[in-house]
Structure 1
């Protein structure tokens, strides 16, 4: 590859076109840093007639993306199709079978198929673009912090959710209104469930946890909740209490094993994550001996994701190598996954109750029965006979106790709608 690195790109959507454009626009700079020219020689996509804003003249076109793996002129395959199955999976496995390295932005593939891929002898798969777009968090964990023991990772990994929550916070709008506007502006997909239900964040978290803790990729063990249930009322109370609500991915090492969870969380205003707004991502890594490391930037889009893809191509050209998930496949430790019911922490609890004598006593009696103590309580004004919001913040308690208490609270005659529960994090 000294004379050059020839690339085949499968998938010419926003990111694929962005990679092609970046390799051309910054060709001299990239060649100087890679030690050779990196050139796209072949592509594969479904629609030849579509205008992608970048010239495809002179490139070989494969209607079958898997055929890129057998193209003798292609040194490395860039997979930008997406999905853990189907063509993307077939292409990656075919490229590895042909002895060709792969660069991908496909977080679902790595999160679901990572163990299968790393088990292949000599497999070379780079995936910096799969997590947090242009933020080099994979390199930070796998290389920059290689001498550190990682205690935990907490981050905002989905720009769509962060955009929605940021606007709800700034403009006091409800979730449905902001989601509809985000879809109109192209920040959210027509079917936004992959983002707003937390699946995208869970894929990314499973990858980071595997690298951070030297364990197999365990996507199925990630506890996942999305942001559909977050209301403007909750966001207002959070601000009054000194918090911001963010959708977080959290992975922590505990004495019992590794906990991996995705859910809305209240973070203190002093936290670096509280100040990350719009479509930006951020990651906080707790490491020993370096301490806390904070990375922040754009997590999606043509530019940031293409930047990460090309960085992996430069590493390949330079011959820089590191185990795909930080340690060799056979050296990984099967640390147990800690179930969500074992989590302990503080909680924000909001109830809509009928404003009448004795209601608070009934509520606190239920909490007392499950060993839950309160740090503070908020109720604004009086409206006898009508539903009012009552907010309670607990001291540290167990998830199992909170879950059981919520079920009991929902049966109280004065409680008018399902209780809202948001975990409080100090990250």
Structure 2
């Protein structure tokens, strides 16, 4: 079985190393040896250290490599939308199996790849696109196909989980925790894709598509990052017996017309310390799956890095190579449900709201009246000083109210916060966070 490898960076280099180190075992598992037909790279002259590969295999002509008749499987670890999409569509239409780690492409235009795979009768595998080495996508699309998944909640970005874990452990602010993550190599020089939730949103789209048999794109995912999370938010979460995580949440639901829908979102949220995801620290990933028959399932492990991602890539390579030798194709995309995506405003959630208010009689009643007007029920209220000191009066005669709501439509909660911002008794709405999980 001959492979075309597109990309030879951190992940691609690890794929080459594992192919070399485990060649005998891989051949035994597949029933035929794996050989590298060629490796497409941007620059031929780059120093690749002691990579165990013949330099003659490198080429800058990725499309030409994909089109070669002696290539059976195309492995893509370049990333991005174009030109990767063109390469993979060409391979799939020609009947060549594809293994990719390209979450951005799958989330933006996975339908095109699945259509090309169906046209060419080829396999499309992408376990490495979400949560690195954690076996997650295969269970969703194969092991749980006899069940009905109702909800998927996950921590799928290691950088943001490291930052929030550091803030929780040390009391540091976001900027300090990000600086530490950068120094340790967890955050890129430009961390936007991670801290603004773009990476997690792409993964959420892939998870929702598999879990609910519906094509979901990144554009369907409500996305918020963690840049506005403060040390005060983390401290407030601790006071409630909670911690803050950047969650991807995909859930079934019913809209106002009684139609079954899905809602997919990524945002920071407080979760109780009793929730299985609360203990996931450092740069680890974990995904919590709820299904009608199987109940609650947890997938946990390292979600990024060259070696873990390469492990997932090679697992897929073994699967597609076996299929090719047997002359069969894996089950095609399952998108039969075609459920509509429910807008974020209709999602049912809870809010944690911190307000700096005037410390005078009637303020709490006025604030409660705003919640009542929008049909949002208050679960708890905690009052303290605006500067965090004991008592009810802070500097300048202000006080702090911390309000946690019961479940309500997100649009109603957002409208409540908007009205609160306009009250003269409300000095500022200092924090708004969603609350997930039971108490």
Which of the five TM-score ranges fits, normalised by the shorter chain? over 0.9
Q: Where do residues 357-372 of structure 1 align in structure 2 (5 Å cutoff)?
A: 357-372=361-376
Q: Is 1:336 aligned to 2:331, yes or no?
A: no
Q: Which residue of 52, 57, 61 corresponds with 2:58?
A: 61
Q: Secondary structure at the match of 1:146?
A: coil
Q: Post-superposition shift, 1:345? A: 2.5
The reply to whether residue 409 of structure 1 matches residue 420 of structure 2 is: yes
- Give the corresponding residue for 1:376: 380
Other-structure match for 1:203: 202
- 1:282 aligned residue: 286
Query: 1:414: how far off?
Result: 4.0
CA contact under 8 A between 1:315 and 1:321: conserved in structure 2? no
Tell me if 1:421 matches 2:432: yes
Q: Please, what is the CA RMSD of the aligned residues?
A: 1.8
5 Å-filtered alignment, 1:119-130, equals 119-120=115-116, 121=119, 122-130=121-129
Q: Give the TM-score, by structure 2 length.
A: 0.91
> Separation in 1 of the partners of 2:365 and 2:238?
26
Is 1:398 aligned with 2:406?
Answer: no
Which whole-Å deviations, capped at 9, do the CAs of 1:383-418 have from their partners, x for residues lacking one? Answer: 141655421111222212111111111122343444
Tell me, in whole angstroms, the C-alpha distance in 2 between the residues paired with 1:187 and 1:22.
23
Gap runs ≥5 in structure 2: 256-260, 385-389
Q: Under a length normalisation based on structure 1, what TM-score does the superposition of the two structures give?
A: 0.93
Secondary structure, counterpart of 1:385 in structure 2: helix
1:290-341 Cα shifts (integer Å, max 9, x gaps): 111100000010111000000000001211743353x2xxx62221111111
Q: Residue 51 of structure 1: CA displacement?
A: 2.6
- In structure 2, distance between residues paired with 1:355 and 1:66: 68
Q: Contact 2:109–2:217 (CA<8 Å) still a contact in 1?
A: no
| Alignment correspondent of 1:322 | 330
Q: 1: distance between equivalents of 2:360 and 2:17?
A: 65
Separation of aligned partners in 1, 2:18 and 2:426? 57
CA displacement, residues 67-100 of structure 1 (integer Å, 9 cap, x when unaligned): 221223322111111112x211111112123321
- The whole-number CA distance in structure 2 between the counterparts of 1:202 and 1:309 is 21
Match of 1:347 in 2: 351
Question: Is the contact made by 2:353 and 2:429 (CA closer than 8 Å) also made in structure 1?
Answer: no
Q: Give how far 1:368 is off.
A: 2.4
Structure 1, unaligned stretches of length 5 or more? none
Task: Determine helix, strand or coil for the equivalent of 1:252.
Answer: strand
The count of residues paired between Structure 1 and Structure 2 equals 418
Distance 1:353 1:51 in 2: 60
Aligned equivalents of 1:292, 1:283: Cα separation in 2 = 10
Judged with a 3 Å threshold, the aligned counterparts in structure 2 of structure 1 residues 282 and 9 are, in CA distance, closer, same or farther, namely same
- State the partner residue of 1:73: 70
Alignment partners' CA distance in 1, 2:433 and 2:48: 43
Contact 1:115 1:217 in 2 (8 A): no
User: Pick from 263, 269, 274: which aligns with 1:265?
Assistant: 269
Question: Which residue of 2 is the match for residue 307 of structure 1?
Answer: 311
